[in-house]
Amino acid sequence: MTYEELMAKTAQIYWSAVSKYQEVKIKNPESEIEKRFNAEIENGLKWIIKHIGKLVPPGASEKANEIATAHGVNLFALKWDNQIQAEQKIDKNADGRTIFHHEHKNDLKTLYKNIIMATSEKEIFNILMKQEIVWITKEEDKKLKRDSRIEDEYKKNNIKVIPNPYNDLNDWYIAKWNINKKN
Give the DSSP per-residue string, 46-61. HHHHHHHGGGSPPEEE
Half-sphere exposure of 37 toward its Cβ, with a 13 Å CA cutoff? 12
Task: Identify any residues that bridge with 179 across adjacent strands, giving them in sequence order.
Answer: none
* DSSP-assigned beta bridge partners for residue 73: 178
Per-residue confidence (pLDDT) for residue 7, from 0 to 100: 94
Q: Which residues of the chain have pLDDT under 50?
A: 182-183
Please write the tens of the pLDDT for every residue from 83-100.
999 999 999 888 889 999
Under a CB-based contact definition with an 8 Å cutoff, are residues 64 and 90 in contact? no
d(CA 42, CA 13): 15
Q: Where are the beta strands (DSSP E) in 9-50?
A: none
Predicted confidence at residue 102, as pLDDT, reads 94
pLDDT score, position 150: 65
Q: Are 60 and 75 in contact (CB under 8 A)?
A: yes
Q: In sequence order, which ranges of 53-168 are alpha helices (DSSP H)?
A: 62-70, 83-90, 108-116, 121-130, 138-143, 153-156
- pLDDT at position 183 is 43
Contacts within 8 Å (CB) and 24+ apart, 63-71: 63/136, 63/137, 63/139, 63/140, 63/159, 64/100, 64/135, 64/136, 64/137, 64/140, 65/135, 65/162, 67/99, 67/137, 68/100, 68/135
- pLDDT at position 180 is 67
Q: Are 35 and 29 contacting, i.e. CB atoms less than 8 angstroms apart?
A: yes
